[in-house]
Amino acid sequence: MRSRGRTIGPVTLRPLALAASALGGLALGVLAAGEIISTAVAHHERALMKKFADSRPTRPTRPQPSAGVREAVVVLGYGNPGPVVNAINRWRVDVGLRSIDPSADRSLLVLTGGTKHSEISEAEHMARYARTERGYDGPLVLEDRSRTTWQNVKYSIPLIQDADRIVLASDPLHTLRAQRMLRTLRPDLAARLAPARNQRLGEQILRKPVFIVVGLEGLRQAHRDHLIR
């Protein structure tokens, strides 16, 4: 009986080991797919911005950064209940800050998002983080009325319409949706879009699959509601 016990144990555990291996492989596949899709979307953003720029009726020569370019970096807020800025809004601010062109003559950081989930606006949460934890001391303005991505973009337009270079900062699919919304609202401003530095290998790797699912659904709804084209 003892010898049987020694042989039955491994046989019994083998299906569990196979199941664990399969689940591990599936998880790795999902994470890898998140990286691949996020990278592809980031490349698509750049191609789309070139298309926006090429579609302008007239193409006046814009100054180069050394000649005094005015830049606006718009960070799209995320629902933030509670008194402390959450991880996604912290990351989006980080994306916005590293997307600033150091050679621009003036860079304005626009933080967007209202008080849908908290008494403190998403914009205010992000402003506190940028100032106190990231040490940002440049020009900053809050757009704290918006409750949707469409409103993020729409209400930011008066703040960015004089910029020569415009960056929308969030995860790649959310950024893509906002860029296309800007083109719907103001094609002339969409022609000034520049890419956000929102895709780094391994960064936000556990959240990227979620970003993709939510982002694709957001694009579907925006198409349905005729907010993008």
The CATH number covering residue 82 comes to: 3.40.50
Residue 62 has a pLDDT of 47
CB-based contacts of 222, cutoff 8 Å, min separation 6: 149, 150, 177, 180, 181, 228
Residue 36 and residue 225: Cα distance in Å, rounded?
A: 28
Is 6 within the bounds of a domain? no
Read off the tokens for 104: 């621009």
How many domains does the chain contain in total? 1
Indicate the residue type of 118: S
Domain region containing 204: 34-224
Is 165 within the bounds of a domain? yes
**pLDDT 10s digit of each residue in the chain, 229 long?**
444 544 445 555 566 565 555 555 545 554 455 556 656 665 555 665 566 555 555 444 444 444 568 999 999 999 998 899 999 999 999 999 999 999 999 999 999 999 977 889 999 999 999 999 999 999 999 999 999 999 999 999 999 999 999 999 999 999 999 999 999 999 999 999 999 999 877 787 888 889 999 999 999 999 999 999 7
Give the bridge partners for 75, in sequence order.
Answer: 111, 169
Q: Residue 149 to residues 26, 33, 120, 124, 189: CA-CA distances in angstroms?
A: 32, 25, 18, 17, 17
Is 55 within the bounds of a domain? yes
Is 159 within the bounds of a domain? yes
Residue 60 has a pLDDT of 44
Residue 207 has a pLDDT of 84
Residue 122 has a pLDDT of 96
Is 135 within the bounds of a domain? yes
Residue 205 has a pLDDT of 83
Bridge-based pairing state of the strands 140-143 and 106-112: parallel
Is 54 within the bounds of a domain? yes
Is 14 within the bounds of a domain? no
